[in-house]
Each structure stands twice: as C-alpha cells, then as structure tokens.
Amino acid sequence: MDSPQPVPETTGRGLSGEDLALLNEEIAALAKAGLPLDQGLASLAEEMRHGRIRTVTLKLAADLQHGLSLPEAMAKQEGSIPRYYGRVVAAGIRTGNVGEVLATLATYGRSLAEIRWAVVSAILYPSLLFVISIGLMIFLCYFIMPQFESIFENFRIRLPAMTEAVLWVSRNWVWIFVVPPVSILTFVLVWRTILMRTDSGRARWAGFVYGIPILGTLIQRARLAAFVDLLSLLVRRAVPLPEAFALAGEAAADPIMQVGSRLVIEDLKHGQALGESLAARKLVPRSAAWMIAVAERRGSLADTLANLAQMYRTSVQLRTRLIGAVLPPALVLVVGVVVAIFFVFGVSAPMLSLLEALSGGTR
C-alpha cells in the first residue's frame, strides 16, 4: 500500500474528547483484530471527515510506516494527543496487554468525554441565564427607564424613594451591571494566568475552583471519577501500581492530584501501602482511602477502584441533575423579583399618581 499523502502541519490545539475517544476506539479495534496499524489507520483516515482527527490519524499512519512504534508515533503528536496516552500504550506493550490496554484507553476516553459533557451542560444553562439577566437589566436601564424619566420631568411628578432609586440605577447602569462583572472577570483571568505558570499555582487555582459552592464540588468529583476510573483499569491490566498511579495522575485534569501523585509514588516505592499514602496526603476523601486500604489487604484493589469510580460518576450525575433542576429556576425567580419590585413598582407608583391627578383634573 502506498504511504499516506503528506498532510498539513497541525496547530497546538489538541483533539477534542470525542475525537480522542474515537481515535482510541479505532486503534483498539485494529489491534484486537490483529490488523497492521499503519495500513488500517491510513484507510480509516481516508474515510474520516476533513479536520484535525483526520490529520492526526494520517500522521500516525505515516510514522508507523516509517518504522516508529505506536508509543513513539503518539509522542510525536504530543500537541494533539496527551502525553500519557503514549506512556499507557508503552506500559501495555511491556506487560504484553497492549490490546487490552488500548481497549482500556477507549473506555476511559468515552467515560471522560461523558463526564466533561455532564459538567459543561450543568454549567452552561445557568451561565446563559445569568448573561441574559444582565442583558435584560441593561436593556431596561438604557432604553426603557430614560423614557419614563422624561415623562416624570415633563409632568413634574413628585417621585417616591423607590422610583428615585430606580432612576439612579438606570443612570449608573454601566457602573452597576457592566464594570463589576468585567472587573471581577478580568481579575480572575489575570490571576489564573499567573497561577497556571507553575504546578503549585495550578493546584492553588484548583483549590479556588473547588471552593465554589455546588459547582466546585461537581468539578472536583468529576475529575476524581476520571482519575480513579483510569487507575482501576490500569491495575486490572496488571500495570505495576507505582506506574499505574503515575499514569493516572498525569492523565488527571486535577492539578492537586497531579502534584500529590508524585508524593504518593515515592511512598509506594518505599513500600508504603496505597491506602495509607492517600490518607496521609489527603488526595481523596477519608472514606475512599479507607476502602482502598481494605481492598489492598483483600487483594480486590481493581474492583474497589472501579466501584469508587462508579460512585463518583453517580455523584456527578446527581449533582448535574440538581443544578439543572434548582439553579435555572432560582435565577429566573431572582430576576423576576428584581424586575417586578425594583422596576415595575418603582415606575408604577408615580404613574398611578399621574393618572390620579389627571382623573381629578377632569372633574
């Protein structure tokens, strides 16, 4: 078969979770069927839609045809494929379970994509409602209230305190509804940019995010589910525990776990049990560390880790449903109350006085 055609250079943007999961499933299927990966990937790439995943697949096929191993070919695509993917495949080759490890990566990729979508869907709708609410306030202040203020001035109506407050807000809407959110967002983005330059800074940022009520816990549980899930799959595939923990820690999107995993690996190399190390480093809840310690003594670590991952995934699903059921209606209620009391009542009071005066004047 002819070698793949040259493809354009890829940018630094990595594959999406869905694309990465799809690529893993294709490679796993080829490996399980015993087909040549270079020819199989080249054929699959020709059938794929134009885009980044097709480019990456063609490059993997070309590198394999030039004699590189699959981990080496993946390492060359580090900007597109996470570095831990190639390391996990290399571990599978060393243990003689490359086909099973590839299937494990495909399962993990799908699970990770589902968890990420659950978190995004939980945050997206309330965020959209918040933006719409701010836009509604700005619309009322900029377009509606100045017209009422002009009417009040023309008729020289004596305004109640509520109406005076509403008019003051409408005159200063930029400083109330625009400047504070923009200032807070700018400060957070700058602070995040500074913190993300170092490992300790990334861990501090993660701690800040986890401290956000409801949403922070949701993100933390989602990341913990992904970490424990991959660790259980690697342990089940007979990858040595220190290496499995290192790979799971590297794959974790949790900076706190990524930093702490290095300390746990040192503990494991010095003979300390995983459960004891996790409890001492406080990387997982105490109940989880206790369950892992008991599982190690009973020889059921992989099953216990899988159960923990399922428990955290269930927790993410429940919290996602809770956020979707409670937060949007709460935002709608708050906006309705503000508009009804602050604007409607604030405007209607002087208008009623005006109508009463006009009615009395016609008698």
Give the pLDDT of residue 14.
65
Q: Is the pLDDT of residue 10 over 60?
A: no
User: Which of 159-163, 190-194, 255-259 ranks highest by mean pLDDT?
Assistant: 190-194
Give the pLDDT of residue 1.
41
Q: Is the pLDDT of residue 194 over 80?
A: yes
224 with 309, same domain: the answer is yes
pLDDT, tens only, 334-353: 877 877 777 777 777 777 77
Full-model pTM: 0.71
141 with 39, same domain: the answer is no
Give the pLDDT of residue 359.
67
242 with 127, same domain: the answer is yes
Residue 99 within a domain: no
Overall average pLDDT of the 213-223 stretch: 82
CATH of the domain at 314: 1.20.81.30
Indicate the pLDDT class of residue 13, thresholds 50, 70 and 90: low
300 with 359, same domain: the answer is yes
Overall average pLDDT of the 138-154 stretch: 84
Indicate the pLDDT class of residue 149, thresholds 50, 70 and 90: confident
28 with 75, same domain: the answer is yes
Q: The domain containing residue 195 runs over which residues?
A: 113-363
Residue 248 within a domain: yes
Give the pLDDT of residue 145.
84
* Least-confidence region, from 90-94, 127-131, 222-226, 232-236: 90-94
* Least-confidence region, from 69-73, 116-120, 244-248: 116-120
pLDDT, tens only, 240-292: 888 888 888 887 778 888 888 888 989 988 888 999 998 888 888 888 999 99
Q: How many domains does the chain have?
A: 2
Secondary structure of the chain in the HEC alphabet? CCCCCCCCCCCCCCCCHHHHHHHHHHHHHHHHHCCCHHHHHHHHHHHCCCCHHHHHHHHHHHHHHCCCCHHHHHHHCCCCCCHHHHHHHHHHHHHCCHHHHHHHHHHHHHHHHHHHHHHHHHHHHHHHHHHHHHHHHHHHHHHHHHHHHHHHHHHCCCCCHHHHHHHHHHHCHHHHHHHHHHHHHHHHHHHHHHHCCCHHHHHHHHHHHHCCCCHHHHHHHHHHHHHHHHHHHHHHCCCCHHHHHHHHHHHCCCHHHHHHHHHHHHHHHCCCCHHHHHHHHCCCCHHHHHHHHHHHHHCCHHHHHHHHHHHHHHHHHHHHHHHHHHHHHHHHHHHHHHHHHHHHHHHHHHHHHHHHHHHHHCC
Overall average pLDDT of the 294-316 stretch: 89
63 with 152, same domain: the answer is no
Query: Which of 65, 81, 97 delimits the end of a domain?
Result: 81
120 with 60, same domain: the answer is no
Q: Is the pLDDT of residue 357 over 50?
A: yes
183 with 49, same domain: the answer is no
* Least-confidence region, from 96-105, 173-182, 221-230, 278-287: 96-105
Residue 86 within a domain: no
Residue 98 within a domain: no
202 with 75, same domain: the answer is no
Residue 358 within a domain: yes
63 with 191, same domain: the answer is no
Residue 103 within a domain: no
40 with 151, same domain: the answer is no
44 with 118, same domain: the answer is no
Give the pLDDT of residue 356.
67
Give the pLDDT of residue 11.
44
Overall average pLDDT of the 64-90 stretch: 82
Residue 105 within a domain: no
Residue 10 within a domain: no
Overall average pLDDT of the 179-194 stretch: 93
